[in-house]
Amino acid sequence: MRQVLPDLWETQQDNPFPGLTTHAYLWTGSTNVLFYSVAGEADFAELERRGGFTDQYLSHQDEAGPMLGRIAERFGSKLHASAAEADAIGPHARIDVPLTNRHTDRNGVEVIPTPGHTVGSICYLVPGADGARYLFTGDTLFVGASGEWTAGYIDGYSDSRALAESLRLLGTLTPDVVISSAFPSESAVHRIDPQQWQAHLDQALVGLSGAVTR
Domains of the chain in sequence order: 2-213 (3.60.15.10)
pLDDT of residue 7: 97
Neighbouring CB atoms inside 10 A of 151's CB total 28
| pTM of the predicted protein model | 0.95
Q: Provide the pLDDT confidence category of residue 17 given band limits of 50, 70 and 90.
A: low
> Measured between alpha carbons, how far is 158 from 140 in angstroms, rounded to an integer?
10
110-169 per-position pLDDT tens digit = 999 999 999 999 999 999 999 999 999 999 999 988 889 999 999 989 999 999 999 999
Neighbouring CB atoms inside 10 A of 168's CB total 12
Residue 155 neighbours by CB under 8 Å, 6+ apart: 211
46-64 per-position pLDDT tens digit = 999 999 999 999 999 999 9
Residue environment code for 29-59, b if the CB has 16+ CB neighbours within 10 A, otherwise e: beebbbbbbbbeeebbeebeeeeebebbbbb
Give the helix/strand (H/E) hosting 91: none
**Mean pLDDT, the chain, whole residue set:** 93
Amino acid identity at 74: R
Pair 59, 140: CB distance under 8 Å: yes
Pair 49, 74: CB distance under 8 Å: no
3-state DSSP assignment of residue 143: strand
